[in-house]
Amino acid sequence: MTAPMLKLALAAALAGAILDAPPARAASHHAAAIGYSRDAEKVLADARAATGGNGWFMLRGWHETGHVAGVAYERWLDPLRFGMRVESHDPAGLRVEGFNGQGDWIIATPGAAPVTGDEAATATARGEAFLGVYGFFYASRFDAHGQALGVRQAGGRSFDVIDVKPFGGDARELWFDRSSHLLGRIVDRTGPKPVTIELADYRKLGPVRVAFRETITVDHNPPQVRQIDSLVFTPSDRALFSLPRTEP
């Protein structure tokens, strides 16, 4: 499993379910700079209600296993603050990637020296950690901002589209089905070719509903599928997300 494929694949006590609204006197462009615009808030509030409402605020951890293009992976995420670890098992052996909120690191093969990510790699990891836990449902976490882009059509369906960017991360378009309010598509337009992720197979798990299947398409190339096999909302040791210390 390559790092780009993993990056393509891949979002506290009970709090109020309503996103913090910006002051009424603030201009829409100013609201987008410090949080979510009112139109974006409405879309996100409907989506959160459709997938668990206050249940999202009960999550303390995220541990999943699955396959991407036939390659097994295991992923840990932190829904309270930035944190991610991905272990993939491909023919070359075990590959480990982590992000602790500050830096991205990779151990490509067992025994190899770790590689720390540059600014672009860190931004990508930050965005993956944010989207992996549906971080856009938490107004007071992740320092994200976003604004509504309007209604778009695709595949015979109508979507409310918002542009979301976590602090220090890459921007993504989030497409929410206007009928079900479920997140149906994620579009990345930051690279040389557009990347589209189609979300499906939503399942009720604990207090929330989560998409278990993602179909990833880069430009017009054949799609790759990421399928979650198991998912539990178990808190993780924060040490998992940092580069392992080496013995002197």
Segment 13-51, tens digit of pLDDT = 223 332 333 333 333 343 344 599 999 999 999 999 999
Structure confidence by residue, pLDDT tens digits, 208-248: 999 999 999 998 889 999 999 999 999 999 999 998 865 44
Question: How high is the pLDDT of residue 34?
Answer: 55
Question: How high is the pLDDT of residue 246?
Answer: 59
Distance of alpha carbon 184 from alpha carbon 74, whole angstroms: 23
SS3 category, 162: strand
- Between 104-118, 144-158, 183-197, the lowest mean confidence (pLDDT) is in 104-118
Distance of alpha carbon 53 from alpha carbon 22, whole angstroms: 21
The phi and psi torsions of 31 (rounded to 5 degrees) equal -60, -40
Domain ranges of the chain: 3-9+34-241
Structure confidence by residue, pLDDT tens digits, 120-139: 889 999 999 999 999 999 98
What residues does 232 pair with on adjacent strands? 63
Residue type, 123: A
Ranges of H-type helices in the chain: 3-9, 28-34, 38-50, 119-132
Q: Name the residue among 28, 194, 3 with its Cα closest to residue 106.
A: 3
Q: Is the per-residue pLDDT at 55 higher than 60?
A: yes
Q: Indicate if the alpha-carbon torsion angle 13, 14, 15, 18 is positive or negative.
A: positive
Q: Name the residue among 98, 87, 86 with its Cα closest to residue 122.
A: 98
Question: How high is the pLDDT of residue 137?
Answer: 96
CATH of 3-9+34-241 among 3.10.20.440, 2.50.20.10, 3.40.50.300, 3.30.70.100: 2.50.20.10
User: Which residues, in sequence order, are CB contacts of 177 under 8 Å at separation 6+?
Assistant: 157, 158, 159, 183, 184
Side-chain-facing half-sphere of 144: CA atoms under 13 Å: 35
Asked whether the beta carbons of 85 and 243 are under 8 A apart, the reply is no
For 64, the token pair is 């999943």
pTM of the model: 0.83
DSSP strand E in the chain: where?
A: 62-68, 71-77, 84-90, 93-99, 104-107, 115-116, 145-154, 157-165, 172-177, 183-188, 195-205, 208-218, 224-232
**Which residue carries 């595949």 as its tokens?**
155
**Which residue carries 């491909």 as its tokens?**
90
SS3 category, 157: strand
